Amino acid sequence: MRDVEYGWLMRYMHSTGASAFFFLMYFHMFRGLLYGSYQKPKELVWLFGCFLLFLLMAEGFLGYVLPWGQMSYWAANVILSLFGAIPFIGPDLQVWIQGDYVLSGATLSRFLHYMLLLFLC
């Protein structure tokens, strides 16, 4: 990506576009809070929006981790450690998500599997 002409431009446009998308998503949720969109009769729409925000944040995290550089490795380490902090099931859940007791190629393979759903659609 860095060795082709204007590859840097494509990379930074992608990065800036993703940041702008999440900013607009947070702004939309904040606006919904101000207008009371979580109240009846629209509470299911609000819950669906929260679920969609969670899915998009997970996809953003996976997109950040997939290059598997130093920043990606440590970001994955921090986020997976948060799963390990959940009472009772945390350590087992962390090992299940990682695929091993340490971050390795197995973890990256598990992160790549989310793209399978996109290809099937």
d(CA 111, CA 20): 24
What percentage of the chain reaches a pLDDT higher than 90? Answer: 62
Asked if pLDDT for residue 82 goes beyond 80, the answer is: yes
pLDDT of the residue at 87? 95
d(CA 94, CA 77): 10
Query: What's the CA angle centered on 14, arms 8 and 15, to 5 degrees?
Result: 90
Examine residue 67 and say whether the peptide bond preceding it is cis (omega within 30 degrees of 0). Answer: no
Asked if pLDDT for residue 114 goes beyond 80, the answer is: no
What does the chain come to in residues? 121
pLDDT of the residue at 93? 94
For the chain, state the CA radius of gyration: 18
User: In 65-78, which positions are buried (b, 16+ CB within 10 angstroms) versus exposed (e)?
Assistant: beeeeeebeeebee
d(CA 69, CA 67): 6
